[in-house]
């Protein structure tokens, strides 16, 4: 292992925020003498990556293996990468400042499509060949995972293996398999092939795309890769001693995952489909891990995370117990992802005891018809009641998320967003004492619908960008001006997201061409160029606009058919048909099984800690 710190340090005097590159935080685990070295990378800056909970979970799991070192890697900001290239300093890990190319394994999470070029940037800075088939015996295994593994094809060529689903157990099996292969003196090709024997692991080199667009194994690899699911979230403690950054990172706080999965069934939402079933952690474990984490990290804020935290059957009990334990310490408790219909008076009161951060709700659509069509399952009355309760309890700011371009959307649905916002504002105003109305703010954020794999909308096309922009203008004109801040997510990056979210293996050439043309940090608006991407995709034979807009045959082949998320396509098709009739489907954790196929297909079950959910 070569420590390159001596070569890194001189560069730190010329770059922004050098704290990103120096390591030495509280909670770092250092194992220089380990027999096996894993680098875990989040493909964005330190500030974004350090907030990722999955990497904290995986690092904690790996730390249970005595002879394994787990080190962090992030993407150097453009000033640093330029300095590194100018001085021939390779991409290095934080803990030991070792070149990434000297690791045994490089694990990369794929959080969203806009980080794809950052993966290539990292491989290039590390001196690792971009394409898996160009790598030699000494290069680390490059293993992917995370949300985008559910449609791995656009990135498949750059990975030796990709894990689909929960990593708590699978990552340890991957490490064990690779170590056994190394001990047996197997070649790189044989080691990679062995990984295909692990449930949930996709080895792209063992699959070919047929003329019909279907991805098939070339020999004895499984025809479909089945998503890994951790049946009981309480098997492992939530990581209680994660690394505590110095730099001001995105979510700079202690976190405890309270549940995984969400079966509310919003039809556009990939996370709500592919992380089923709902698995709650018991209140005792949550409180225990929260207190342990605050004690170990010294954080001043605790976040209870999940896709839909207020759905937890014991949330009120958890909040009450935490409030008792943390009284007088100035510790704030935050609950992200609140569903409007689970925001109750006691909940408002319990959250209000700490610091009142802004409140965020996601009605997603303005009209009841469209909310029913996407299966949001909330009514306007519920929205206004929640706002009334929040502002009565002392909140003064609320942020509302909407989407433009959802399947079946009309102009009436778009203007209905403005009408709803107007009523929200009026309700908030009425619940606020006259003297405090000056600070009242309603922020509205409208993103563009992106069709995602393994959702009922996976066959839908995205609205053409010109039409998205027309509807944005329509919304802006209809929106009340006083007290409302309206912002739009950039339609250009949503177009790229759609191409890559729908893309097959052929998209890889487009990703590589974009990176070669200088695309990096695509999620950062100052670095994103749609024109560059359109040209790069064209060079790979992809007409971006047409590709994003294309609706697919609901009985035809999809580029992700070989990835088995557990959802039956009959369920997804039926859900898509209910969209056209604006029919809703209930959440199975509150009522009957909806037949999505996950529990019987993956041999798991819904876990509700309190026995029963109230909704």
**Which residues bind to another protein, rule: CB under 8 A?**
5, 9, 12-13, 17-19, 21-26, 244, 246-248, 294-300, 328-330, 355-356
Q: Where would I find the beta strands (DSSP E) of 247-358?
A: 254-257, 259-260, 279-280, 301-305, 332-334
| Alpha helices per DSSP H over 438-506 | 465-478, 491-502
Contact in structure between 370 and 406 (CB atoms under 8 Å): yes
Instruction: Please provide the distance, in angstroms rounded to a whole number, between the alpha carbons at the two ends of the chain.
Output: 55
Q: Whose Cβ is closer to another protein: residue 248's or residue 592's?
A: 248
Q: Whose Cβ is closer to another protein: residue 237's or residue 244's?
A: 244
Residue 5 CB, nearest distance to another protein (Å)? Answer: 8
Residue 86 CB, nearest distance to another protein (Å)? Answer: 17
Which has the closest alpha carbon to 123: 39, 3, 221? 39
Q: CA-CA distance, 419 to 187, in Å (whole number)?
A: 64
Residue 42 CB, nearest distance to another protein (Å)? Answer: 20
Q: CA-CA distance, 153 to 208, in Å (whole number)?
A: 11
Beta bridge partners of 162: 144, 202
Q: Whose Cβ is closer to another protein: residue 243's or residue 520's?
A: 243
CA distances from 180 to 169, 176, 192 (A): 17, 6, 12
Buried (b) or exposed (e) across 391-419, using 16+ Cβ within 10 A? bbbebbbbbbebbbbbbebeeebbbbbbb
Q: Whose Cβ is closer to another protein: residue 14's or residue 525's?
A: 14
Q: Three-state SS for 403?
A: strand
Q: Whose Cβ is closer to another protein: residue 59's or residue 142's?
A: 59
Q: Whose Cβ is closer to another protein: residue 19's or residue 29's?
A: 19
DSSP state of 300: S
CA distances from 575 to 264, 418, 453, 595 (A): 13, 28, 14, 11
φ, ψ for residue 574 (rounded to 5)?
-65, -40
Q: Whose Cβ is closer to another protein: residue 217's or residue 352's?
A: 352
Residue 330 CB, nearest distance to another protein (Å)? Answer: 4
Residue 296 CB, nearest distance to another protein (Å)? Answer: 7
Residue 12 CB, nearest distance to another protein (Å)? Answer: 6
Q: Whose Cβ is closer to another protein: residue 356's or residue 552's?
A: 356
Residue 304 CB, nearest distance to another protein (Å)? Answer: 19
For the chain, the residue count is: 615
Residue 48 CB, nearest distance to another protein (Å)? Answer: 17
Residue 298 CB, nearest distance to another protein (Å)? Answer: 3
Q: Whose Cβ is closer to another protein: residue 13's or residue 555's?
A: 13
DSSP state of 104: S
* Angle subtended at Cα 308 by Cα 307 and Cα 310, rounded to the nearest 5 degrees: 155
């Amino acid at each position: 292992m070569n420590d390159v710190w001596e070569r890194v340090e001189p560069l730190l005097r010329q770059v922004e925020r050098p704290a990103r590159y120096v390591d030495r935080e509280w909670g770092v685990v250092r194992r220089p003498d380990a027999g096996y070295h894993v680098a875990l990378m989040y493909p964005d800056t330190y500030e974004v990556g350090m907030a990722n909970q999955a990497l904290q979970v995986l690092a904690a799991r790996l730390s249970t293996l005595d002879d394994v070192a787990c080190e962090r890697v992030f993407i150097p900001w453009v000033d640093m990468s330029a300095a590194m290239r100018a001085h021939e300093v390779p991409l290095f890990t934080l803990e030991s400042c070792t070149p990434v190319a000297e690791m045994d394994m490089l694990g990369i999470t794929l959080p969203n499509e806009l980080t794809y070029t950052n993966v290539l940037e990292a491989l290039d800075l590390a001196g690792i060949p971009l394409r898996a088939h160009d790598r030699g015996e000494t290069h680390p295994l490059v293993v992917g995972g995370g949300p985008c593994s559910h449609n791995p094809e656009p990135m498949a060529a750059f990975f030796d293996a990709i894990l689909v689903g929960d990593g708590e157990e699978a990552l340890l099996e991957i490490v064990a398999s690779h170590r056994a292969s190394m001990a047996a003196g197997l070649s790189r090709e044989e080691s990679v092939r062995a990984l295909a024997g692990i449930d949930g692991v996709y080895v792209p080199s063992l699959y070919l795309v047929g003329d019909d667009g279907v991805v098939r194994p070339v020999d004895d690899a499984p025809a479909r890769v089945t998503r890994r699911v951790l049946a009981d979230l309480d098997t492992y403690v939530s990581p209680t001693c994660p690394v505590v950054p110095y730099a001001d990172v995105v979510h700079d706080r202690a976190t405890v995952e309270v549940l995984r999965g969400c079966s509310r069934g919003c039809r556009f939402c990939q996370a709500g489909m592919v992380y089923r079933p709902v698995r709650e952690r018991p209140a005792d474990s949550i409180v225990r891990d929260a207190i342990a984490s605050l004690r170990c990290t010294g954080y001043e804020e605790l976040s209870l995370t999940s896709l839909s935290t207020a759905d937890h059957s014991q949330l009120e009990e958890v909040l009450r117990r935490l409030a008792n334990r943390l009284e007088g310490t100035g510790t704030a408790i935050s609950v992200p992802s609140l569903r409007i219909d689970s925001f109750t008076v006691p909940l408002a009161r319990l959250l209000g005891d700490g610091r009142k951060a802004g409140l965020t709700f996601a009605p997603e659509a303005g009209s009841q018809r469209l909310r029913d069509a996407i299966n949001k399952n909330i009514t306007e009355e519920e929205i206004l009641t929640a706002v009334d309760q929040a502002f009565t309890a002392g909140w003064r700011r609320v942020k509302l998320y909407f989407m433009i371009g959802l399947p079946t959307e009309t102009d009436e649905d778009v203007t209905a967003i403005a009408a709803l916002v107007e009523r929200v504002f009026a309700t908030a105003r009425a619940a606020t004492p006259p003297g405090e109305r000056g600070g009242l703010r309603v922020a509205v954020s409208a993103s563009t619908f992106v069709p995602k794999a393994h959702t009922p909308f996976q066959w839908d096309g995205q609205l053409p960008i010109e039409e998205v922009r027309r509807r944005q203008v329509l919304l802006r004109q209809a929106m009340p001006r006083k007290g409302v801040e309206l912002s739009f997510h950039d339609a250009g990056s949503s177009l790229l997201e759609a191409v890559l979210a729908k893309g097959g293996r052929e998209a890889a050439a487009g990703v590589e061409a974009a990176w070669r043309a200088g695309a990096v940090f695509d999620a950062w608006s100052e670095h994103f160029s749609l024109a560059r991407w359109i040209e790069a995709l064209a060079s790979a034979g992809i007409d971006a606009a047409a590709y994003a807009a294309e609706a697919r045959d609901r009985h035809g082949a999809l580029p992700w058919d070989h990835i088995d998320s557990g959802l039956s396509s009959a369920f997804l098709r039926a859900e898509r048909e209910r969209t056209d009739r604006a029919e809703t489907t209930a959440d199975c954790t509150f009522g009957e099984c909806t037949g999505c196929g996950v529990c019987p297909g993956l041999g798991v079950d819904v876990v509700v800690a309190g026995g029963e959910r109230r909704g």
